[in-house]
Amino acid sequence: MKEAALKILARLRDDKKLETLVYALLACVVAAAFLAGGGANCRGKTVTERESPEKPASTEAELESRLEAILSQIKGAGRVRVMITFDRGSEIVPARESQRSTGENGSNESSKPLTVSSSGGQSPIVLAQIMPKVRGVIVVAEGAGDIGVRNELERAAMTALGTDLASINVFCME
């Protein structure tokens, strides 16, 4: 085993292309481990902590309202209105109860949504609400005539929604 390792090391020293390839692969592995491990930012929070919102938006309309509220806080923005379009509606993932039965024809598995009783009847238990991908964003702001304010609004919307600049258009408010 030791001899095999020494032969490999000797070959690495002799073949510069192979040595460079090994170093490049090692650098990729280290970078991937750092990114997957949630490297710390300058405030000591991990990436996953930083990306999780304080309170997740439950509807598209609530997301628009929250974005309007934060964008209007940008210096010089003034009043702000936001419209967000999505590639589909939000998806609700209900809790399900699985039942397996074995009969003459083999085993059969079925599931039904779990519900709770409420004043309006039965309501499904929701495990998660999956927000759709943002297709486009329109921001209308009083201060959008100033190029600096416009850039700040674009950057803030891009960051908040996790979308690209091409999906965001900023216009001056009448």
Quick check: 30 pLDDT over 80?
Answer: no
pLDDT value, residue 27: 61
Bigger pLDDT: 56 or 87? Answer: 87
Bigger pLDDT: 121 or 26? Answer: 121
pLDDT value, residue 166: 94
Q: Give the count of alpha carbons within 13 A of 67, CB side only.
A: 27
- Could you give the domains of the chain? 2-50 (no CATH), 55-89+131-172 (3.30.300.30), 94-126 (no CATH)
Specify the amino acid at residue 54: E
Bigger pLDDT: 37 or 144? Answer: 144
Cα 155 from chain centroid (whole Å): 16
Region 141-161 average pLDDT: 95
User: In this predicted model, what pLDDT tens digit does every residue of 69-83 receive, in sequence order?
Assistant: 999 999 999 999 999
Element (H, E) at 118: strand 115-118
Specify the amino acid at residue 116: V
Region 107-135 average pLDDT: 79
Region 154-159 average pLDDT: 95
Question: What pLDDT band is residue 33 in, cutting at 50, 70 and 90?
Answer: low
Quick check: 144 pLDDT over 70?
Answer: yes
**Max CA-CA distance within the chain?**
78
Bigger pLDDT: 4 or 153? Answer: 153
Question: What is the percent of the chain where pLDDT is above 70?
Answer: 70
